[in-house]
Structure 1
Amino acid sequence: MAEDVPGHVERNAAQEHQAGGRVPERGQPTVRQAGRHRRDPFLPITASAVGHPSEGCRLMIGGGGPIAEAGEPSVLSRGKALAMTDRFARPPRAGVVVAAVVVAAFLLATSRLPPTSSAITSDVVQLLVAGAAAATTATRARRCPPGRVRTAWLLLALSCASWCAGQGYWSWLSARGEAPFPSLADAGFLGFAVLAVAGLVVHPAGGGRTGSWQRVLDSVMTCGAVSLLSWETVLGAVVAVDNGYDDIARTLLLAYPVADVVMVVLAVLLLAHTRGDRTALNLVGLGVLAQAIADSTFAYLTATSNYDGGSVDVGWVVAFLLIALAGTCPVDSPRPADRRPGAGPPSVPVSVVPYIPVVAAFGVALGATFSGHPLTSGELLVVTVVVGTLLARQYATVRENTRLAADLAAREVELEHLAFHDPLTGLANRALFRDRLEHALELHTRDPRGVALVFLDLDDFKAVNDTFGHGVGDELLTRVSERITGALRGGDTIARLGGDEFAVLLEDGGDGLTSATRIADALRAPFVLAGRTLQVGASIGVCALEPTDPSVGADALLARSDAAMYQAKHNGKARVVSYDVEAPASPAAPVG
């Protein structure tokens, strides 16, 4: 609210013109008071709300970026932090290079050496890479904060150690020229599967993008697809081959691919339902896949009595090298944005992870069918279950997307309302008011039509805030807006411009003086707030354009009504003053 300064004479636009001055332009002060400049109420400010109201909104000023909320890092610091996180989330380059060199050297050595030396080399390399994987994953577990993540990595470290122990025993047997099956080494190898499964189950899939229904569908679909894929490629052949093994040996041969199916299914589900930095989990998932391929190859070759070690063991080497690289990935604390439920959509590659085994299984099944091996009734049942869960998952996804689209549309409507309405009173804000004013002036120029602008400022509102507090002041502004709304037509645009300043745009023949008088009459009755009775008046300026009047711009019309309001305030407050282009403004009778 503006205050009067004793001895200071305020002039309207006509008087200013007669004195050789000019109407203040947009962005310039309208009146100078005792060395203070009153800001033009229509100084251009571009504002838009960013974010949902429940999450807090940030203000966009001018054309710049969002102002950081309290306690939030700046845009520059956030960008730098994200860049550092992205850069250091991956394993060290030296580790990747070493892993690639080990694989290349392994393939070269096992392909060039004699069979016996090749088998020994394979055993030693497997022992070393499994030990390296156990060491790096144990180190990562120690770096993780206490909780399920640390437990999961510890279980993975123990699984690698179990394999390392089994491989050590097998290497000792191989060095002695023995290769029994089964042996105690199989306990270590299968211990890897048991502990790895436990680790994958314990690891949290926090921040997953889907509900429990989609997790169930993904579980059934992935399990069916991976099982079908394993059966068509390895498991069925192992069961069908009569190799003379006893029941224990045959059970162990089947245990390897079955355990791999479980590990692959859990890895797929974990990757599909975990957000944030998945670099380490991606490497673990690839390691589990390589392990499954190596185990299946071993089971098939052993069942057909064709396994002799050497280069065929490269799958195990690759598997443990990938797991070892996963253990070298840095452990970063999750950012606040990652901890919020539903924050950030998953990447496209992660979204398609559950479909990869389905496509692979269907491809293998079709290949078998076209090659003259039709599917059995049991295989057809599995295919039916996979197709059914796939269709159910897609239907549920479509429904979820429809719901999200409806929520997004409702949020956009809410944000649009926030962007163009005053949050305290619910009236139009300065952006919406100016847009409608410019449109009304365009119609006045084209049709022509009458336009009237009423500008009002509460008298002595600052005293109310200083005496009774801002809470009472806000309540008074809300009650004033209600009375103004009740005094005018439903189609009139009423806006709170800021502070205790209000404006009304009258179109379609609305009379400015009549409307201003109704507003003054509505404000005459005292307000009862917080048990106190307050008498509040308003200084009101009116500027009207008749249909035959020459066109003016929005800034000029605003300046005229603003000058008329100040003339009313100078003449004693609580009155209406109409701007007259031809003569100095003449005050109307006091209104209270």
Structure 2
Amino acid sequence: MPRALASKPLLVAGVSVAAVVGLGGSGLLSPWWSQFVDDLGQLGAGLAAALACWIIAPRRAGAQRRWRLWMGAAASGWTVGQCIWSWYQLFADTPLPSPSAADAGYLTLPVFALPAVISLAAARPPSDGPRRRPGQLVMVLDGLIVVGALFVLTWATTLGSVVHAGAPNTFAFVVAIAYPVTDLVLTVIVILLVAGSAPQNRAQLTILGGGLLSLSLSDSIFAYLVSKGAERMPPLADAGFVAGMALVAVAALTPLPRSGQPRAAPAMRRGRWVHLMLPYAPVAGTGVLLIVQLVRGIRMDAVEIAVETAVISLLIIRQAVTLIENAVLLDRLSDSRARLTHQAFHDGLTGLSNRVLFHDRLEHALALHHRDGHQVAVLFCDLDDFKAVNDRYGHHAGDRLLREVAGRLRASVRDTDTVARVGGDEFAILLEGGGDPGEPAERIMAAIARPFDLDGAVDASSVRIGVSIGLVQAGEHGPAGVSADALLRRADAAMYAGKRQGKGALVRYRIDLPDGTGSSDLAEALAATLRDGAGLDVHYQPIVRLSDGTVVAVEALARWTHPVLGPIAADVFVATAEELGLIRLVDDFVLDRACRDAAAFAGPWADIAVHVNTSAARLGRKEHEETVRAAVHRHGLAPHRLLLELTETVPLPDVAAAAWAVHRLRHFGVRFALDDFGTGYNALAYLHALPVDEVKLDRSFTAADGRSEAICRSIVQICTGMGVTVVAEGIETVEQQAAMAALGCALGQGHHYGVSGPLARIAPPGVLDPATARRDAPSRA
């Protein structure tokens, strides 16, 4: 609790107590007036405590209301007793009236204060969960045991003689003994509850406990003075009564602190050990006392015997309650562990295994596969158009559908196979043992294809969905020691290949899945290749002048040959590189190799250009410009012999920045071309914004038909007017060559002039300078 919440009431209470005690005990007043000030201060503090409790209680709820109501009753009873006491002292001329009718009021304080402090200490915020009644019972028993043991110790040493000296009859004895007993009970209970209460309640409980302890202190002084036959009680001795009731009022006015304060776990653990050992220390003390009394021949009186018997009985009860509580906690712990274990390894919605359990069983199955050749296959299933079911019928229907799907999956495989939900609408199935794994996959597809009856969903009585399945068998692809993660990724890649084929398909995994699915094995192999360059090469395709067939340039193209799979189709590994974000490394590798080879050209090819593909999205980045300049300088290539073909896999993020980058590199000497013109995101806009030197007309426009010719003619006219050379791609026949030349295309490229291949196969003899060739031979190898 912030200190500011209680600082003002505490300050007022402190000043008031000091004023009453100081004025009453100053000696400036006559004895009667000094007693009047003293009693008036006690009455005022009692009234303040009662009013604060009664006024604040209706504004609170729960435990915060209950403890104030109990304490209001306690303070009211005490205040009534104080009124009677003051009448005796001030008007009946009875200095220390004991016993008297005032005792009936005073003794209501412990009766109502005890449930008040227990209610406050037992309160828990909602976030703390349900209360543990057995734990509170043990705490109360501990308090009673400690009280009883301490009472025996104090009675046998000093308290017994004091009480007997001040108790001429049985009634007086009962009254005399009631005060120390109740004070001792309250003191111990308060200490126990303050130590074990929730942090949110500790500030209020500490202030309230401090008030009760102050009252107990003055009670003890009063009992001592009565036993000694004193005629009056000095104001300083009454300070505990005034301060005690003042602190009760402060506690009632103190609000709860804001929740969310961190708890001190180590301190709580230490407090738990204190609670466990607390009752045994005073009980052990009473045992030592009894031994000493037996040795000295001192007999126990009736009070000692009764209290000691009660302490032993309470200790037995406490042990029984503790044993019962521990047994209940062990049962709950066992149940909780079982639930947590199930929750940790199973899906809460469908009851299927989850990803963790599936992975564990897959690893075990693979260990058997590697050791004994145990057959292992994985099916990765993804529901087709499941989102449409959620959007149309709601998530409740979607959940019902997932549970129905889970049941059909279980029914389609053997009991020994593992079915798991590994994602929202994704399921994995581990098939162990013999047989063709394609058969259960076909059964699953047939089962899922049947209509689903979703009760409770409007118009959803016969929902139909499909499923795409990827299948992979251990040992068919890649290294023999494949991991569980790798096998699951392969099945996932095969499933997505089926999605791209139109959904509802069963696809068996292979390492070179087409259409850029980016199988994990292909991705890992490509990443390894780009790290060391092994298997990656550059092929070239000639670009010729259509009028006479003279080679004027070559286009450098990346090619990859896997050591196990052999040549990988360019569209497959390029798509994989783009998906992995590695296309930059491929482009830079081709750029460096092309600049090196072009710088070595000699003879008839000494001045021809080399075309290199680069992503248009890289334009405007400082590192791209530095890479281009570095490659040209490193190999001594004349900048005008390098032409960068801008490819569009994504739209240009910043056309203005790209245009400035083209300007800077053209000023350096490098030339530019728009590749696959007509198929990009905004071909004419880029042609207008970027100062390119050439336009490579996509092969889809070079077909010999009227529509294509009209488009080609328009593009050639636009480019000619802008001073841009047009290159016709995809020329495969003489007729296409003649048609493109007639339309005004200056240059052409295609299989008609030769397919791409290694430089030695494309270039005529004498193209490479012998010295340069010898210098670069190890690198080319």
What range describes the TM-score normalised by the shorter chain of this pair? Answer: 0.5 to 0.7
Higher mean C-alpha deviation, range 522-531 or range 488-497: 522-531
Aligned pairs (5 A) from 1:214-253: 221=145, 224-225=148-149, 228=152, 231-232=155-156, 236-238=160-162, 240-241=164-165, 247=169, 251-252=171-172
Match for 1:298 among 184, 197, 222?
A: 222
Higher mean C-alpha deviation, range 186-195 or range 123-132: 123-132
SS of match in other structure, 1:328: helix
CA deviations over 1:558-577 (Å, ceiling 9, x no partner): 44323322333444543321
CA deviations over 1:403-451 (Å, ceiling 9, x no partner): 1233133223323433443222111233444455566667767887654
Q: Hey, what does 1:325 align to over in structure 2?
A: 247
Aligned pairs (5 A) from 1:100-111: none
Match for 1:94 among 3, 8, 11?
A: 11
SS of match in other structure, 1:425: coil
SS of match in other structure, 2:309: helix
Match for 1:574 among 489, 494, 504?
A: 504
Instruction: Report if the CA contact (8 A) 1:256-1:295 is conserved.
Output: no
Please give the alpha-carbon distance, in whole angstroms, between the structure 1 residues aligned to 2:39 and 2:154. 24
Instruction: Report if the CA contact (8 A) 1:234-1:296 is conserved.
Output: no
SS of match in other structure, 2:349: coil
Q: Does 2:155 align with 1:256?
A: no
Cα pair distance change 1:132/1:151, threshold 3 Å = same
Cα pair distance change 1:358/1:188, threshold 3 Å = farther
SS of match in other structure, 1:452: strand
Instruction: Report if the CA contact (8 A) 2:110-2:182 is conserved.
Output: no
Cα pair distance change 1:104/1:452, threshold 3 Å = farther
Q: Which residue identity does 2:133 align to in structure 1?
A: T
Please give the alpha-carbon distance, in whole angstroms, between the structure 2 residues aligned to 1:203 and 1:583. 73
Q: Does 2:123 align with 1:194?
A: no
Q: Does 2:420 align with 1:495?
A: yes
Please give the alpha-carbon distance, in whole angstroms, between the structure 2 residues aligned to 1:510 and 1:581. 23
Match for 2:382 among 451, 457, 474?
A: 457
Deviation (angstroms), 1:232: 3.4
Aligned pairs (5 A) from 1:58-457: 84=2, 88=5, 94=11, 98=15, 124-125=37-38, 127-128=40-41, 131-145=44-58, 148-162=66-80, 164-166=82-84, 168-169=86-87, 172=90, 180=95, 182=97, 186-188=100-102, 190-201=104-115, 205=119, 207=123, 209-211=132-134, 221=145, 224-225=148-149, 228=152, 231-232=155-156, 236-238=160-162, 240-241=164-165, 247=169, 251-252=171-172, 254-262=174-182, 264-265=184-185, 272=193, 277-305=201-229, 309-310=233-234, 316-329=238-251, 330-332=253-255, 360=282, 363=285, 366-367=288-289, 370=292, 372=296, 373-376=298-301, 379-434=304-359, 436-437=361-362, 451-457=376-382
CA deviations over 1:511-565 (Å, ceiling 9, x no partner): 5434423433444554444383455432211122218840445555444323322
Instruction: Report if the CA contact (8 A) 2:148-2:308 is conserved.
Output: yes
CA deviations over 1:273-297 (Å, ceiling 9, x no partner): 9765144444444544454454344
Deviation (angstroms), 1:216: 8.2
Please give the alpha-carbon distance, in whole angstroms, between the structure 2 residues aligned to 1:544 and 1:106. 96
Q: Which residue identity does 2:48 align to in structure 1?
A: A
Cα pair distance change 1:440/1:274, threshold 3 Å = same
Cα pair distance change 1:450/1:581, threshold 3 Å = farther
Q: Hey, what does 1:481 align to over in structure 2?
A: 406
TM-score for the superposition, normalised by structure 1: 0.64
Q: Hey, what does 1:56 align to over in structure 2?
A: none
SS of match in other structure, 2:107: helix
Cα pair distance change 1:581/1:281, threshold 3 Å = closer
Q: Hey, what does 2:466 align to over in structure 1?
A: 537
Instruction: Report if the CA contact (8 A) 1:126-1:317 is conserved.
Output: no
CA deviations over 1:344-398 (Å, ceiling 9, x no partner): x988759968987885576467447626333236523431331122122123113
SS of match in other structure, 2:58: coil
Number of equivalenced pairs: 482
Instruction: Report if the CA contact (8 A) 1:539-1:565 is conserved.
Output: yes
Which protein is bigger by CA-based radius of gyration?
2
Unaligned runs of 5+ in 1: 1-82, 339-344, 586-592
CA deviations over 1:291-317 (Å, ceiling 9, x no partner): 44543443344334356644xx75542
Cα pair distance change 1:349/1:459, threshold 3 Å = closer
Higher mean C-alpha deviation, range 443-452 or range 515-524: 443-452
Cα pair distance change 1:335/1:256, threshold 3 Å = farther
Q: Which residue identity does 2:55 align to in structure 1?
A: R
Unaligned runs of 5+ in 2: 60-64, 124-130, 262-266, 516-781
CA deviations over 1:218-250 (Å, ceiling 9, x no partner): 686467446645643566325644x7x865xx7
SS of match in other structure, 2:492: helix
Cα pair distance change 1:162/1:333, threshold 3 Å = same
Instruction: Report if the CA contact (8 A) 1:228-1:382 is conserved.
Output: yes
Identity percentage of aligned residues: 34
Q: Hey, what does 2:601 align to over in structure 1?
A: none
Instruction: Report if the CA contact (8 A) 1:453-1:544 is conserved.
Output: yes
Cα pair distance change 1:412/1:283, threshold 3 Å = same
The alignment yields a C-alpha RMSD, in angstroms, of: 4.9
Cα pair distance change 1:376/1:292, threshold 3 Å = same
TM-score for the superposition, normalised by structure 2: 0.51
Higher mean C-alpha deviation, range 313-322 or range 217-226: 217-226
Please give the alpha-carbon distance, in whole angstroms, between the structure 2 residues aligned to 1:230 and 1:423. 61
Deviation (angstroms), 1:319: 4.5
Instruction: Report if the CA contact (8 A) 2:88-2:95 is conserved.
Output: no
Q: Which residue identity does 1:407 align to in structure 2?
A: R
